[in-house]
């Protein structure tokens, strides 16, 4: 049944695109401390983030990602990302104003590009979200200083 639901979500969006639908648990954060430091985030918040467990529940349907996040800072939140490059402004879990826009990297629709502009910190980040296999989700985040962090999530459920 879950496989059919994921299949229906792909059909409702685009038959050939990556389908991010599922429940994802953070397994690794590569270069987290250096990345957060370059973003102007203080020592205590960086240390808390390094011990954090993050769970994403993603529903990918009809050109949108609905993302429910369970975070150590800010608790639970839900955001809807249009995948057509439309800019949207939100307040992040730290209370900062952020503008983001998401679109496919190319016509293959296997890599989602999410550009964020933190208006409070005056920092920009480009995230490439992709699935190297059906049970792994990766976010490769690069800021304007050229510092990159890669988060790897494993599928908990469909």
- Which CATH number belongs to the domain containing residue 122 in this structure? 2.40.128.20
Domain range enclosing 138? 2-157
**pLDDT per position as a tens digit, 89-109:** 998 877 899 999 999 999 999
Query: What does the alpha-carbon distance between residue 107 and residue 99 come to, in Å, rounded to a whole number?
Result: 24
| Res 63: pLDDT | 93
DSSP H stretches of helix in the chain: 2-13, 32-38, 43-50
| Res 14: pLDDT | 58
The stretches in the chain having pLDDT less than 70 are: 1-15, 72-74
Q: Extract the tokens encoding 71.
A: 């975070």
Those residues whose C-beta lies under 8 Å from the C-beta of residue 4, and which sit 6 or more positions away, are none
| Res 11: pLDDT | 41
Query: What does the alpha-carbon distance between residue 140 and residue 134 come to, in Å, rounded to a whole number?
Result: 17
Q: Is the dihedral angle over the CA atoms 80, 51, 72, 6 positive or is it negative?
A: positive
Contact 27, 152 (CB under 8 A): yes
| Res 92: pLDDT | 83
Q: Is the dihedral angle over the CA atoms 102, 105, 109, 111 positive or is it negative?
A: negative
- Cα–Cα–Cα angle for 41, 37, 142, nearest 5°? 105
| Res 73: pLDDT | 63
Q: How many domains does the chain have?
A: 1
């Amino acid at each position: 049944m879950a496989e059919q639901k994921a299949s229906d979500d792909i059909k409702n969006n685009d038959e050939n695109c990556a389908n991010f639908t599922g429940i994802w648990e953070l397994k690794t954060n590569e270069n987290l401390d250096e990345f957060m430091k370059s973003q102007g985030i203080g020592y205590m918040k960086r240390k808390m983030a390094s011990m954090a467990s993050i769970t994403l529940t993603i529903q990918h349907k009809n050109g949108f990602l609905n993302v429910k996040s369970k975070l150590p800072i800010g608790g639970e939140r839900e955001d809807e990302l249009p995948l057509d490059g439309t800019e949207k402004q939100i307040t992040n879990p730290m209370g900062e104003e952020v503008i983001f826009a998401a679109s496919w990297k190319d016509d293959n629709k296997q890599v989602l590009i999410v550009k964020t502009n933190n208006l409070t910190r005056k920092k920009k980040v480009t995230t490439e979200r992709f699935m190297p296999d059906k049970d792994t989700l990766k976010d490769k985040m690069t800021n304007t200083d050229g510092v990159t962090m890669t988060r790897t999530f494993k599928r908990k459920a469909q």
